[in-house]
Amino acid sequence: MDKKWVKIGIVAFFLISFALILGNLYRIISTTAPDFRILWISAKDFISNVNPYTDPDLFIPNAYPPVSELFYIPLALLPYQVSQAVFIFISFSSLIGSLYLSIKLSTGRVNWQYFLLFMGLAFFSFPTKYSLGMGQINIIVLFLLILCYYLASKMDQNFVTDGLLLGFAIALKPIFIFFLLFFAFHKDWKVVYVSILTNLFLILISLAFWPPEIWVYWFNTAIVPLSNFAGREAYVNQGLLGFISRFVADINTRTYLNEIFTILVITLAIIFNYVKGDKKLGFSLFIISLLLFDTTSWQHHFVWLIFPFIVIFYHSIKSNNIILLSLIFISYLLESWNFKNPNQFSQIFLSNQFYGNIILWGINMYLILKSHQKVTPNTKLLLKIK
């Protein structure tokens, strides 16, 4: 096919997707993003010295710790619609930033054709639209995480900035504490220390303004329920536990199977990071693994796969492997799809994001091994000499 027509096709695809996402953004901003409203009301409660974990105005419990609310307090000072518009704008900008940094990390430069292509694919993806529509923090924390990795990979010795970015990402999304393991494993100890100190400092700030009992309420309303594996078969849950729960009714069996597979997934992530392959693939594997073992891997969390998709795509392009590229395309279709009426389908079909993630997981580990094999004995010798 003529390259000119390929370029025209990419531009047309981007323009269509961009027009559709703008329509979605307008609807979001002019209505209500449910999850953001929970956090906005909770932040107003904190300002008014009201316990947000017992507020009857919240239609679902606030699952985020008090340190997360510190970031929402400035938004709580604004009228709701204005505040929501600002938040959605920050999220959308973070999406563009995440795509840009992911491409730059993968190739060293940003090709405008690929940039438009990946933006179009991201705009069409259901996890992106779902995360924006619900007013979730997912895209913002993804940007903070990728920016932290990007700066750390430049070896600029600015570990304070890197640690702050990771620390803020953990404060906003506590499950991201998992990435401390990645940076620790790669001996970026200063980044780990600064991120931990950042969160300790934020906790002290929260204790300076609100009583310690707030943390007890949060623990009882957000953490304790996580031990209950009933209802985890809900379609929105696309992690390992969600998959297991669709076929296993017994709660104890669910618990045992989840523990076994969680240990397996984390162990493999560590082992494959020990293999001296491409570090970006190791980071990608950590993101994929988190979405597998997190017991509440809701559909909107899968927007985090932006980085793995781009990194894995470029590695597959370099290897000129049609099979890998075909599998990536299938994975994208599975990740991007959403059943509007899941009750009408068999349980076997309701783990589409999980299946797509498993495909990426397998490709990621294969590419790590392949990149490791490219290090010839002579190259290893030179590395030892250095």
Write the pLDDT tens digit of every residue in 117-136.
Answer: 999 999 999 999 999 999 99
Average pLDDT over residues 136-151: 96
Residue 57 lies in a domain: no
Residue 184: pLDDT above 60?
yes
Residue 108's region, left for phi above 0, alpha for psi from -120 to 50, else beta, is left
Backbone torsions φ then ψ of 376, nearest 5 degrees: -75, 165
Residue 52 lies in a domain: no
Angle between the 3-30 and 80-107 helix axes, to the nearest 10 degrees? 150
Residue 351 lies in a domain: yes
Number of domains in the chain: 1
DSSP 35-86: HHHHHHHHHHHHHTT--TTS-TT-SS---S-HHHHTTTHHHHTS-HHHHHHH
- Choice between 335 and 63, residue whose per-residue pLDDT is larger: 335
- The answer to whether the beta carbons of residues 88 and 132 sit under 8 Å apart is yes
Separation CA 343–CA 118 (nearest Å): 32
- Choice between 377 and 258, residue whose per-residue pLDDT is larger: 258
Q: What is the pLDDT of residue 381?
A: 36
Backbone torsions φ then ψ of 237, nearest 5 degrees: -90, 110
Q: Token pair for residue 329?
A: 């395309």
- The answer to whether the beta carbons of residues 255 and 230 sit under 8 Å apart is no
Q: How much of the chain exceeds pLDDT 90, in percent?
A: 75
Q: What is the pLDDT of residue 59?
A: 79
Residue 251: pLDDT above 90?
yes
Residue 108 lies in a domain: no
Residue 320 lies in a domain: yes
- Choice between 56 and 157, residue whose per-residue pLDDT is larger: 56
Average pLDDT over residues 316-323: 88
Q: What is the pLDDT of residue 374?
A: 63
Question: Which range of residues forms the domain containing residue 287?
Answer: 236-386
The DSSP 8-state label assigned to residue 298 in this structure reads B
Residue 328 lies in a domain: yes
pTM: 0.93
Q: What is the pLDDT of residue 378?
A: 42
Q: What is the pLDDT of residue 49?
A: 87
Q: What is the pLDDT of residue 31?
A: 92
Residue 345 lies in a domain: yes
Average pLDDT over residues 333-355: 94
Residue 376: pLDDT above 60?
no
Query: Which residues are within 8 A (CB) of 212 and not within 5 positions of it... i.e. 6 or more apart?
Result: none
Q: How confident is the model at residue 154 (pLDDT cuts 50, 70, 90)?
A: confident
pLDDT tens sequence across 193-231:
999 999 999 999 999 888 889 999 999 988 888 888 998
Average pLDDT over residues 266-290: 91
Residue 116: pLDDT above 60?
yes
The mean pLDDT of the chain is 91
Average pLDDT over residues 56-79: 90
Residue 5: pLDDT above 90?
no
- The answer to whether the beta carbons of residues 164 and 339 sit under 8 Å apart is no
Q: What is the pLDDT of residue 382?
A: 33
Average pLDDT over residues 232-248: 95
Residue 369 lies in a domain: yes
**Amino acid at position 366, single letter:** Y
Q: What is the pLDDT of residue 55?
A: 85
Q: What is the pLDDT of residue 13?
A: 92
Q: What is the pLDDT of residue 157?
A: 65
Q: What is the pLDDT of residue 156?
A: 61
DSSP 348-362: GGTTHHHHHHHHHHH
Q: How much of the chain exceeds pLDDT 70, in percent?
A: 95
Alpha helices by DSSP H, the chain: 3-30, 34-47, 66-69, 73-76, 80-107, 112-124, 126-134, 138-153, 159-172, 179-185, 189-209, 213-218, 240-245, 251-274, 279-293, 306-319, 322-336, 352-373, 377-385
Separation CA 332–CA 288 (nearest Å): 13
Residue 371: pLDDT above 60?
yes
